[in-house]
Chains A and B, each alone.
Chain A
């Protein structure tokens, strides 16, 4: 089976940097996804990591350590519109994706 843990809520200040952690346990590893979900909206794809290390995409970066079962999403230069839930997810076979319960990020002025 698969199990994912991430913090329930975080608060950060506009312009700052925030790191959202995710730990996972999986019987077979097929990579790790991060999704962003604004309240009342559908999740949108942010990143997919399958190899160890940091991948950067503009203000967002995602890190993976397969040996530690650990990933984080790094958001730089926070903006108010970044207030959302961030979902960590690990795929099984044939699109059977297990999602964490999500980290609700609140960005304050």
Chain B
């Protein structure tokens, strides 16, 4: 079974630009979560999508948005980039079917390394 794939792997942008990152989950997984990882803050939860609906979100500004398509692929968009947005962006997939919204084991993609100049 193929793992989680993310594109692009590396990206360089300048302040004020916008960026779109893509994630394809493991086949059969319907939940996609996005995380930002920086050396100082560690892994921080951005949002989670299941069957094209955002079910949960973290404490990030509205410049960070996402969506999920009917084939479970997900995209994340960051508008008006700031220097502090430089980070590794990881997506994780899971079945999303744990009862009562309970936790599933998440499988991570290799990440997109975003550098904002």
Q: Which residues of chain A have a CB within 8 Å of any CB of chain B?
A: 30-31, 33, 41-45, 48, 87, 89, 91-102
Contacts and interface: CB of A to CB of B under 8 A. Distances in A.
Contacts of A102: 42-43
Contacts of B105: 33, 45, 48
B106 A97 contact: yes
Given A94-B55, A94-B101, A95-B48, A42 B94 contact: no
Interface in B90-109: 90, 92, 94, 96, 101-109
A99 B109 CA distance: 16
A96 B108 contact: no
B58 interface: yes
Given A41-B110, A96-B57, A98-B45, 12 more contacts: A33-B105, A42-B90, A45-B106, A45-B107, A87-B43, A94-B50, A94-B55, A95-B48, A95-B56, A97-B45, A99-B35, A99-B43
Contact of A43 (B48, B50, B57, B90): B90
Nearest to A30: B103
B33 interface: yes
Interface residues of B, number: 30
A43 B58 CA distance: 19
B38 to A, nearest CB: 10
Contact of B42 (A41, A48, A92, A101): A101
B interface: dominant SS: strand
A96 B31 CA distance: 11
28 contacts: A30-B103, A33-B103, A42-B90, A42-B108, A42-B111, A43-B43, A44-B108, A45-B105, A87-B43, A91-B102, A93-B55, A93-B56, A94-B48, A94-B55, A94-B101, A95-B31, A95-B33, A95-B56, A95-B94, A95-B106, A96-B33, A97-B103, A98-B45, A99-B35, A99-B44, A101-B41, A102-B42, A102-B43
